[in-house]
Amino acid sequence: MRILVILSFLASILNAQQFTISGYLSSKESGEKLIGASVFDEQSKLGTVSNTYGFFSLTIPKGRVNLRFSYVGYESKLFVFENAKDTAINIEMEEALNLKEVEVSAERIERIEQESQMSIVNMPVEQIKALPALLGEVDVLKAVQMLPGVQSGTEGGSGIYVRGGGPDQNLILLDGTPVYNVSHLFGFFSVFNADAINNIKLIKGGFPARYGGRLSSVMEINMKEGNMKKIRGEGSIGAIASKLTLEGPIIKDKSSFIVSARRTYIDILAQPLIRAASSGGEDVSTGYYFYDLNAKLNYKFSDRDRIYLSAYMGDDKFYYKMRPYSYLYDGVLYEEKNDAHLAWGNITSAFRWNHQFSNKLFSNLTATYSHYDFNVRNYQETIQTSDTGVLRNIMGVEYLSGIDDWAVKLDFDYLPSPNHYVKFGAHYTYHTFKPGATSYQLEVTGVTNIDSTSGADNVHAHEMALYVEDDWKLSDRFKANIGLHLSGFQVENTFYAMPQPRISLRYLMWGDWALKGSYANMQQYIHLLTNGGVGLPTDLWVPVTQNIKPQKSDQIALGIAKTLNNRYLFSIEGYYKWMDGLIEYKDGASFLGSETKWYDKVESGKGTSYGVEIFVHKKTGRTQGWVGYTLSFTDRHFDNLNFGKSFPYKYDRRHDLSFVFTQKIDSLWDFSMTWVYGTGNALTLPIERYLGLPNNDGYGYIYPTEIEHYDEKNSFRMASYHRLDVGFKNAKKTKWGERTWSFGVYNAYNRQNPFYYYFGYDRNNNRALKRVSLFPFLPSVSWGFKF
């Protein structure tokens, strides 16, 4: 640490005629830190942006400065002063409420051409919350799915597939903690409650060196910190769920909290109907619910030190419970109990300590815990009491899988001069994989007593990484982000290590059109065994082994970008990605129904993905939204699948188009609309049937055999997917705050989008391929409040 301080000191000597202005940027209304806000000196034309904790540092020459602070949705601030010494300055910015289109220049426009990096999208949470939503439940991941280069899975699902990658190749970080399963209700909703979220950033390529461990994307989701000024509340009551968020100061301007909770109540509403429908006297309780809870505390010791403690907890549960009941039969009293459930959930928590060593050196120490588990249980018990004694029969089966991570990260931001923004650090994670164990309990009084567990044992692994990167301004036109990520993974007696170079370049051409290019090498040491695209909680996280190698990718991208007319962020990018070490289930393998170890059920192979993405994004003004288009080609090649021939990836989607539009009509009404179109997913279906070799059944009978012939893997295309959603919001100030009525229509023109296909029979008893669609025209209404 001492070395860093000395380095910082030496740098300041070398820049003797320069002084550093540093500090924090936050919202005046809530005290919430502003991430990625721009700090720009109009005199020297030098600038920087605030980091994840709102910290900025800008070293500029001695003399007069015109320092402008700006951030999307906030009124910009200009400070004019003489730069004659190092200055610490904390800026509170005011929200730009009800800005008219012509006044938009007062807001800060994110200038895409200024960034050295490409393939990054920052999504304002308020923009996401303005969109129409399935059953009125705003979903962060569903909004992300509408970005170019990101594909959704099946109808309604919140899984994301980025540039031909699988769902396991996305590093989704909630306050720096990885979240392993982001699905509620089989993926129809994600685990992220938009009310508790401050900021979302998605990176699809050109990954900075500070990120590692996944091939296809990084999604950073930062929770709100809690209002430092006053107690605020926000909530809503919808058709399937309600939520409530409370935030406020513990000690004004020093410490704050936020707590946000959400729960569905389908089970509660349906309970009377279920009871009425159950017959035979059993008292049956069955249903489904999910809930999630976000909480965060922070405490500011000084301008140099601040700590955060954040946590997330969420569960999904399908349950069936028959309350104990008894009956008398033939002189024997029978008492019966039955309990079954399918449940999964995440717990994440993070402790962070921000420390500012100097006005040029900022550090963040993070300790995190992430837990995901899935279990299915069925338990039946019968007790027979008679004159001869008591006989107890128990039969229980439980399947468990999951993953636990303990991690510590130390990250530094070092800003020696306006031309360099250096980040470096070290990460360590201790993984415990629980890749599927089945326990059986069988007990019959006096006869049998079995209590055993089978399946794979827990596997412990150590993952570590070192990184350094520099966002380097080589000239006014040429900027580069160059870095190296060095990672290692120790599992059992095997150690994998890999240096992963990363580079992003930007050259400002004529008319401030930015030409951008990037190369990123990524390595991933964990795999997700997945059976289908329905966001099943049965998906299994497993580590690399001696035989199952890490996943690797090399991605290159080239594109142009410019902020048009001071309003529209425009970009076109082409990319090509090579992937190796991908795993898929062997033909016929399944997660259940076998005692085979997971690594004997998989095949390793390769994949490629390439395409072009066009994106126009407007984040400010009364009219906001985006248009995104992706043309892409994705395939897989496994020596032992599809008889060694390449086949399209399940989510190979030739065309993907999204149109997102929000309009502030007046002070009361907002209108929003989204339309999405995507080529149908690839699917493997039989096309013919024929006779195979006759079979002997083992008892002397010879049977003709009939085979269903599947053509090439994933050779059938589902129907294309398209959907229009429309929403209106009416917000009105009241004595106590604000109330909002939200009206929405999901699938406004009632398109029957495919969810899955199967072979059945038509009315004339002819065999037919049937398509099942889930969500028809679906209106929703919810009532929200803020105080």
- The least distance separating other proteins from the CB of residue 659, rounded to whole angstroms, comes to 25
Interaction between residue 698 and other proteins (CB under 8 A): yes
Interaction between residue 344 and other proteins (CB under 8 A): no
Instruction: Tell me the residue type at 350.
Output: A
Secondary structure of residue 653 in the 3-state scheme: coil
CA gap 603, 585 in Å, rounded: 6
774, 783, 785, 787: which one binds other proteins (CB under 8 A): 774
Interaction between residue 276 and other proteins (CB under 8 A): no
Interaction between residue 277 and other proteins (CB under 8 A): no
Interaction between residue 770 and other proteins (CB under 8 A): yes
Tokens 């349950």, located at residue: 319
CA gap 310, 220 in Å, rounded: 15
- The least distance separating other proteins from the CB of residue 710, rounded to whole angstroms, comes to 5
Interaction between residue 742 and other proteins (CB under 8 A): no
Q: What angle do CA 678, 683, 685 make, to 5 degrees?
A: 145
Spatial CB neighbours of 766, under 8 Å, sequence gap ≥ 6: none
Interaction between residue 242 and other proteins (CB under 8 A): no
- Report DSSP letters for 336-381, one per residue: EEEEEEEEEEEEEEEEEEEEESSSSEEEEEEEEEEEEEEEEEEEEE
Interaction between residue 773 and other proteins (CB under 8 A): yes
The 10 Å Cβ neighbour count of residue 515 is: 16
CA gap 579, 164 in Å, rounded: 9
Interaction between residue 779 and other proteins (CB under 8 A): yes
Q: What is the contact mask toward other proteins in residues 451 to 490, using x (rule: CB under 8 A)?
A: ----------------------------------------
For residue 715, how many C-alpha atoms fall within 13 Å in the half-sphere facing its CB? 11
The 10 Å Cβ neighbour count of residue 350 is: 23
Q: Which is nearer to other proteins, 90 or 695 (CB)?
A: 695
How many chain residues bind other proteins (CB under 8 A)? Answer: 68
Q: Which is nearer to other proteins, 452 or 696 (CB)?
A: 696
Interaction between residue 642 and other proteins (CB under 8 A): yes
Interaction between residue 778 and other proteins (CB under 8 A): yes
Interaction between residue 302 and other proteins (CB under 8 A): no
Q: Which is nearer to other proteins, 103 or 600 (CB)?
A: 600
Interface of this chain with other proteins, residues 132 to 161, rule: CB under 8 A: 135
Q: CA torsion 637→639→644→645, rounded to 10°?
A: 10
Largest CA distance in the chain: 101
Question: In which region does residue 165 sit, left (phi positive, over 0), alpha (psi from -120 to 50) or beta (all else)?
Answer: beta
Task: Return the bridge partners of 757, or none.
Answer: 771
Interaction between residue 720 and other proteins (CB under 8 A): no
Interaction between residue 239 and other proteins (CB under 8 A): yes
Q: Which is nearer to other proteins, 272 or 511 (CB)?
A: 272
85, 565, 690, 735: which one binds other proteins (CB under 8 A): 690
The 10 Å Cβ neighbour count of residue 736 is: 10
449, 705, 730, 734: which one binds other proteins (CB under 8 A): 705
Interaction between residue 237 and other proteins (CB under 8 A): no
Interaction between residue 707 and other proteins (CB under 8 A): yes
Contact 245, 259 (CB under 8 A): yes
What tokens appear for 356 in the block? 């500012």
244, 646, 752, 785: which one binds other proteins (CB under 8 A): 752
- The least distance separating other proteins from the CB of residue 298, rounded to whole angstroms, comes to 39
Tokens 């019968």, located at residue: 382
137, 407, 775, 782: which one binds other proteins (CB under 8 A): 775
Interaction between residue 528 and other proteins (CB under 8 A): no
What tokens appear for 184 in the block? 């509620």
Contact 170, 162 (CB under 8 A): yes
Of 102-110, 379-387, 540-548, 704-712, which segment contacts other proteins by CB under 8 A? 704-712
Interaction between residue 445 and other proteins (CB under 8 A): no
Q: Which is nearer to other proteins, 709 or 735 (CB)?
A: 709
- The least distance separating other proteins from the CB of residue 278, rounded to whole angstroms, comes to 18
Task: Return the bridge partners of 260, or none.
Answer: 245, 294
Contact 66, 58 (CB under 8 A): no
Interface of this chain with other proteins, residues 570 to 589, rule: CB under 8 A: 584-589
Q: Which is nearer to other proteins, 252 or 275 (CB)?
A: 275
Nearest to 613 by CA among 112, 110, 119: 119
Nearest to 230 by CA among 207, 211, 210, 250: 250
> In the complex, which residues of this chain contact other proteins (CB under 8 A)?
135, 239-240, 266, 269-270, 531-532, 536, 538, 584-593, 642-643, 684-700, 705-710, 713, 719, 752, 757, 759-760, 762, 765-780
